[in-house]
Amino acid sequence: MSKLAYLSLGSNIGDREANLVSAITILGNYAEIENITSASFYETEPLYTTDQPAFLNTVISLETSFTAFQLLDVVHDTETLLGRTKDREKNAPRTIDIDILCLDDVFIETEELT
């Protein structure tokens, strides 16, 4: 059964637009993910740690048969493929940042996923 998901994507290191497009392309290569639609890309100033480059951001919608935890694994794998390390400082510059905003009407609150 397919579920509707929304993800936010951001990048502020390297070719930011290419990083976002690459992330969307990688996600679209999974058989369990279909019908990806992207909002426009927009630039934002960083929050919290402001002495870093501006971000390029977008939000995508997609349909998936993945569970929330499977989707989280795919998100982490995509970030790793695009150069984001697992040992990272909070609010530091990054090639890609992908957050799951929502997945259907699923509510999860664990250490791994909120």
Asked if residue 33 belongs to a domain, the reply is yes
Inside any domain, residue 112: no
Range of the domain at 61: 3-103
pLDDT band at 110 (very low <50, low <70, confident <90, very high): low
% of the chain at pLDDT higher than 70: 94
pLDDT tens string 1-31: 799 999 999 999 999 999 999 999 999 999 9
With respect to residue 111, please indicate whether it lies within any of the assigned structural domains.
Answer: no
Q: Does pTM top 0.75 for this prediction?
A: yes
As for how many domains the chain has, the answer is: 1
Structural domain contains residue 79 = yes
Structural domain includes residue 80: yes
Q: Tell the residue number behind the tokens 């934002």, with chain if given.
A: 44
Q: How many CB atoms lie within 10 A of CB 92?
A: 12
CATH number at residue 47: 3.30.70.560
- In our burial notation (b when 16+ CB lie closer than 10 A, e otherwise), range 6-28 reads ebebbbbbeebeebbbbbbebbe
